[in-house]
């Protein structure tokens, strides 16, 4: 009996570590692609519109595969879903090499879409697995802590990518060298999938629905739950606000401090990521003393205040408020996500796909704002996250009382 308990506990921690590794790799791959994209665009001699299309290709993959990912997790289990997602985004990365070699923008967009599809499958399968990989009482804390690994991977990719770009010279083969760097991430994904395939996962990662259970019909039951609908709205607002802050951080910092250099504006973005990581590490610790949903309301209200102050401030104070906003918004998305799924059982697989699809659709709204370049408008852009966080605070209070 003792050996059985030890083996079970060991297997659980191995499964948890491998699942956590997918969060880090997801954040690293996503950010590295965005960081190296300007160099890849130069290698392909892309026009600005074409570069924007290449940047949006990952979002295309999300829209194409987020909902179908529910079919994979329902019919094959979370573990197979993560394996399939890792393999898919590795294939997308490997396809970038012939796209750059042939200087084909259409091939490049197709490859990046496959990459984005893999990222979507990983997100739809790995995040809900963390929710159910342990007791219900610790679901929110586990999810917030696992979510901290994404900005950790993104920070590593940010430094690696900029260091590579800084040492790259514009020669006929520099595009191939950038794709070769991305290819190492694909190799890492294949290696992680191989180890994951050999490891034994708990039953929660392997459970499948009956073959006759329709995935299409499974999307309706979660939407009939009022609490879940509130969570979907809150998560859309949350991701929309996060995208605005991450997307406009360099331009915003330049608008409030015109003396900043381009390198300094990038450091502001790094500071925002560090604050996001710090918040997700501090959140689970604070939840030991403060109930998770109560802490959610406190962080939502604090993020609202910081965003308002950043919209009306200038200079270092505005930058500090921006970083503070990143800290307090850190736990909002994973907390609401875990709370929305933890009582849904088998419905959680389809619910996770719905949440991810609706939340990620905020990137489409962000694309409409990306044309803004007037400094006085960019400075006021933080009003939008402030409104989002205020609404999230109200919705969180309703979720807490439900």
What is the per-residue pLDDT for 3?
43
pLDDT attached to residue 138: 87
Asked if 1-215 and 218-402 have one fold, the answer is yes
- Per-residue pLDDT of 132-147, as tens digits, reads 888 888 899 999 999 9
Least confident of 26-35, 170-179, 328-337, 380-389: 170-179
| pTM of structure | 0.89
What is the pLDDT of the chain when averaged over all its residues? 85
| 294-310 mean pLDDT | 95
User: Among 52-56, 219-223, 224-228, 291-295, whose mean pLDDT is lowest?
Assistant: 52-56
pLDDT at 2: 39
Tokens representing 37 are 């994209």
CATH 1.25.40.10 given to domain 218-402: no
Identify the pLDDT of residue 376.
56
Q: How much is the pLDDT for 362?
A: 66
Per-residue pLDDT, averaged over 255-269, amounts to 84
Per-residue model confidence as pLDDT tens digits over 193-216 = 999 999 888 888 888 887 778 888
Residue 136 confidence (pLDDT): 85
Q: What is the DSSP string of 165-195?
A: HHT---STTHHHHHHHHHHHHHHHHHHHHHH
Please compute the mean of the pLDDT values over residues 358-378 and round it to a whole number.
Answer: 61
Collect all residues with Cβ–Cβ distance below 8 Å to 333 and sequence separation of at least 6.
147, 235, 238, 239, 242, 359
More confidently predicted of 256 and 75? 75
Identify the pLDDT of residue 363. 67
The three state secondary structure string of 7-47 is HHHHHHHHHHHHHHHHHHHHHHHHHHHHHHHHHHHHHCCCC
Mean pLDDT of 30-44: 83
For the cut 60, the answer to whether the pLDDT of residue 343 exceeds it is yes
Is the pLDDT higher at 366 or at 304?
304
In the chain, the N- to C-terminal Cα span, in Å, equals 42
pLDDT tens digit sequence for 224-241: 998 999 999 999 999 889
- pLDDT score at 7: 42
Instruction: Delimit the domains of the chain by residue range.
Output: 1-215, 218-402
The class of domain 1-215 in CATH terms is: mainly alpha
Half-sphere exposure of 96 (CA within 13 A, CB side): 33
Q: How far apart are CA 152 and CA 105, in angstroms?
A: 31
More confident of the two residues 94 and 172: 94
Most confident of 198-212, 339-353, 363-377: 339-353
């Amino acid at each position: 009996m003792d050996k059985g308990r030890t083996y079970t506990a060991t297997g659980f921690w191995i499964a948890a570590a491998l699942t956590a590794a997918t969060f880090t790799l997801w954040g690293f791959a996503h950010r590295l692609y965005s960081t190296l994209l300007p160099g890849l665009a130069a290698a392909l001699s892309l026009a600005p519109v074409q570069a924007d299309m290449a940047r949006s290709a990952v979002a295309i993959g999300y829209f194409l595969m987020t909902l179908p990912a529910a079919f994979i997790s329902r019919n094959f289990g979370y573990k197979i879903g993560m394996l399939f997602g890792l393999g898919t985004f590795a294939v997308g990365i490997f396809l970038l090499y012939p796209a750059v070699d042939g200087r084909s923008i259409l091939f490049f967009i197709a490859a990046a879409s496959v990459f984005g599809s893999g990222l979507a499958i990983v997100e739809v399968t790995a995040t809900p697995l963390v929710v159910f990989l342990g007791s219900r009482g610790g679901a929110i804390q586990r999810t917030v802590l696992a979510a901290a690994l994404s900005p950790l991977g993104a920070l590593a990719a940010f430094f690696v990518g900029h260091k590579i770009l800084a040492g790259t010279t514009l020669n006929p083969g520099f595009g191939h060298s950038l794709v070769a760097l991305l290819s190492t991430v694909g190799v890492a994904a294949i290696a992680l999938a191989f180890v994951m395939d050999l490891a034994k996962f708990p039953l929660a990662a392997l459970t499948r629905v009956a073959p006759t259970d329709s995935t299409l019909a499974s999307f309706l039951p979660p939407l009939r739950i009022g609490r879940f609908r509130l969570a979907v709205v809150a998560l859309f607002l949350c991701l929309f606000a996060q995208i605005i802050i991450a997307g406009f951080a360099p331009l915003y910092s330049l608008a409030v401090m015109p003396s900043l250099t381009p390198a300094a504006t990038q450091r502001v973005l790094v500071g925002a990521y560090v604050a996001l990581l710090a918040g997700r590490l501090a959140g689970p610790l604070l939840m030991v003393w403060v109930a998770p949903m109560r802490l959610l309301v406190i962080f939502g209200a604090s993020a609202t205040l910081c965003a308002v102050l950043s919209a009306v401030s200038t200079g270092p104070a505005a930058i500090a408020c921006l970083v503070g906003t990143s800290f307090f918004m850190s736990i909002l998305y994973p907390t609401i996500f875990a709370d929305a799924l933890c009582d849904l059982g088998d419905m959680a697989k389809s619910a996770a796909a719905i949440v991810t699809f609706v939340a990620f659709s905020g990137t489409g709204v962000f694309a409409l704002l990306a044309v803004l370049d007037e400094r006085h408008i960019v400075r006021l852009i933080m009003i939008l996250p402030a409104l989002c966080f205020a609404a999230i605070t109200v919705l969180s209070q309703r979720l807490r009382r439900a």
